[in-house]
Amino acid sequence: MDSDGILNSIRDQSGETEFYLPLPAGYQLGRTKFVIVFGTVMSGLGKGIFSSSLAKCVQDKGLRVSPIKLEGYLNIDSGTLNPFRHGEVFVLDDGTECDMDLGTYERALDQDLSRLNFATSGQVYRRVLERERTGAYLGRDVQMIPHVTGEVKNRLRELAIATKADVVFVEIGGTVGDVENAHFIEAMRQLAFEEGQHSVCFVALTYVLEPPILGEQKSKAAQLGIRRLLECGVQPHIIACRAQSPVTRKVREKIALFSNVPPERVFSMHDCESVYLIPELLRGAGYDRAVMEWLELTPRANEEAERVARERWGAYLNRLRNATRQVSIGITGKYTAVRDAYASILKALEHAGAHLECKVQVRWVDTSELTEETAGEALREIHGIIVPGAFGTRGATGKIACLKYARTQQLPCLGICYGFQMAVIEFARDVCGLEDANSTEIDNECRHPVIDLLPEQKKIEGLGGTMRLGGQDVLVKPGTLAARMFGARTRLRFRHRYEVDPRYLPQLEAGGMIFSGKSPRAEIMNILELRESLHPYYVGTQAHPELTSRPLSPSPFFLGLVHAALRRAYPDSVQPLAYPAEAAGEESSGVSPALTSHEWRMERT
């Protein structure tokens, strides 16, 4: 039965039908195309990187694309997940706390995504149960099939309508065979059945083993993983083979034989220097052509749009690959054992480095056991540091020690969220003489709570209720470094609870700290800095600027840090930095020469 037959069966309410096909208003079956990406063999293969790169290839052809990540866990969102277990929590502009792969999509596609681009099993089940309680299922017994799978399909179609997407890219989290993903895979099988031929393209991302002791590639694990997908009723149209080195023709032919996929649609996707090289790797292998042909989209491709997009991307890649200078940036945090906890920071540094034509080498500094006495040795060979976000008390003392060293030794420094708060505490203690200054998150009984929940926040109950989440407008103080970065106003993304207590602003500002960005609606401080005559680059923000950094438009906060690090590493050969706001003609405050540590102390006094 085709899609029209299904619809006719549903419209005939005189008898029972097994078809359950809720469609959003205005949705037409077969109009939107879908690319579904599954993982086999093991997790962590880079499905998000692969899917976003493939989506970029299609987007560059002039088509409107929209991604969605389907996660099997029962959490409603990613807000309470431990970074050690799940990597960073990525926050969207609308405040959605989601999987880090959404950051990969935003950076690759240069799009601001929303809650519609992320769905967990918890969200799906909650909506099904809410509908059952309101009688939306007309007395039917509510089941995994068709109601839960129907809700999954409904999420995809709602996204297609809301974004007017030509192609929706769907990434299924985890791997085929995971119990928590069974309803997602079944929903995708049904989606292909309902949308009609050549409306859905299934892509299986698998892994080809290459044990060093054998010295050759082995495809058996990949074969078995794809067989699990076939057992679910899903016939892949394209297979992407992840491996350390290019997958041989012999191995690709063997996988083709056991998966019913033509050899010309079994591709190698081996490791490369940067994830931003992958779109060109996919084009060179013919992935984009295979997808366009299967979905019958080739006539809609815009060759001129693709040429322009590839030229812009190629210019970025050239700067990335041809950089000759190098700086070392330390990330001083407590999750340094898990690099994914700082994934967006790593990408933001790469963006800024490419813009400034230098390579950024990351040094990991675990602050859990760091003290004021040991901080200097840990940071001695570093050209700049980032003090990243966090929650809780562990590692706070080490971060404060790093900030003091950076401030007093003229080391370029960027404090992010929790790092911003620790910078205020360190300055209050060492410069303003408030020895017991602290955050009530760390010490609820401290005498000088320079960082605290604001009164209106204390009235909110429930985990996460006090969080300030998502995009917020920020007013920028004229004549500051922040004004050079952004002009008079900007928008940043936030994920925090605690704020600078306004009662201490006069003392902090009298000591020389400048609060150069604030909320337009309340006394909420968003950006701090020291005068450039006091420090080459000492900046903090309550926001998470790494979340909005893009390859072709790097975050000004990271640009400033990497540029200051370059000046420290190459003091005689670095040109002044023109921020994007200055290039656009916004207000500039000028650049003051940095003082020595002795001059800084004298001016502070």
Catalytic sites, residue numbers: 417, 544, 546
d(CA 122, CA 539): 39
Q: What is the DSSP letter of 43?
A: S
Beta-bridged to residue 470, according to DSSP, are 494
Residue in 540, 274, 525 with CA at minimum distance from that of residue 389: 540
Please calculate the CA angle 46-54-555 and round it to the nearest 5 degrees. 75
* CA terminus-to-terminus distance, the chain: 83
Size (the chain), residues? 605
- The answer to whether 167 touches 33, Cβ cutoff 8 Å, is yes
Q: Do 405 and 375 form a contact (C-beta atoms < 8 A)? A: yes
Residue type (1 letter), 585: G
Residue 423 Cα distances to 96, 450, 513, 527, 533, angstroms: 27, 11, 10, 11, 18
Query: How would you label 57-93 residue by residue, b for 16+ Cβ within 10 Å and e otherwise?
Result: bbbbbbbebbbbbbbbeeeebbbebebeebbbbbbbb
Task: Give just the sign of the alpha carbon dihedral 103, 105, 111, 116.
Answer: negative
Sole residue written with tokens 């997602």: 184
Report how far residue 363's alpha carbon sits from residue 368's, in angstroms, rounded to the nearest whole number: 15
Q: Rounded to an integer, what distance in angstroms lies between the CA atom of residue 208 and that of residue 211?
A: 10
Angle between the 101-109 and 47-59 helix axes, to the nearest 10 degrees? Answer: 20
For 153-192, letters b (16+ CB in 10 Å) and e give: bbbbbbbbbebebbbbbbbbbbbbbeeebebbbbbbbbbb
DSSP letter assigned to residue 553: B
In the numeric block, the tokens 């990335």 are attached to 320
Q: How far apart are CA 403 and CA 414, in angstroms?
A: 9
Residue 522 neighbours by CB under 8 Å, 6+ apart = 454
Q: Which of 236, 257, 284, 278 is nearest to 107 (CA)?
A: 278
Contact 117, 69 (CB under 8 A): yes
- 3-state SS assignment for residue 237: coil
**Any idea which residue has 């089940």 for tokens?**
125
Q: What are phi and psi of 364, to 5 degrees?
A: -95, 125
